[in-house]
Structure 1
């Protein structure tokens, strides 16, 4: 089965951990993930500046590691990211901001990427949100 996964919650949330465990289990079960799409507060998972307390899981780092090791498409909604201060080098320069903080391996893109993933996948699974 082909899955597209959308995450709407911050990396320290239970929804983010559930989404990550689901994604890991899907691949372990022989399924395919066509795209991971991070929207609303989920975009914080792509920030290189997240520092988790020592006694908590670093879910943002786990997402980055998972995306890199599984060679997945980790897409961050550009509008939600800009609104929350998550920028790549191009957007930081374009908006006159002093630094970029999008972690390596992530891509800023539009909602069209979520739509395309939903069309390519057998199932779109969403985690978090209101």
Structure 2
């Protein structure tokens, strides 16, 4: 089965951890992930500036490792990212901001990528949100 996964909550939220666990289990079970889409507060999972307390699981770092290890398509909604100060080099330069906090393997793109992912997947699974 092919999955598209949308994450709406920040890395410290239980739903983000559950999304990661679901994605890990899906790949371990022989399924495919056609796209991971981080939207709303989920974009914080992509920020290089997220620091987890020592006594908590670093879900943001685990997302980065998981995506890199499996070479997954991980898209961060550009509008949600800009609102929350999550910027790649191009956007930091465009808006004249001094910091870049969106490293590889993340890609900024629009909501169309969520739609495209849902269309190419058998199931769209969403985690978090209001």
TM-score (norm 2): 0.99
Q: Which runs of 5+ in 2 are unaligned?
A: none
What is the SS of the residue equivalent to 1:75? strand
Counterpart in 2 of 1:8? Answer: 8
Could you tell me how far apart the structure 1 residues matched to 2:101 and 2:112 are?
23
Could you tell me how far apart the structure 2 residues matched to 1:98 and 1:45 are?
20
Counterpart in 2 of 1:102? Answer: 102
Q: Which runs of 5+ in 1 are unaligned?
A: none
What is the SS of the residue equivalent to 2:26? helix
1:46-61 equivalence runs, <5 A: 46-61=46-61
TM-score (norm 1): 0.99
Matched pairs, number: 130
Cα RMSD between the aligned structures? 0.4
- Dislocated runs of 4+, deviation >4 Å: none
What is the SS of the residue equivalent to 2:52? coil
Could you tell me how far apart the structure 2 residues matched to 1:66 and 1:13 are?
18
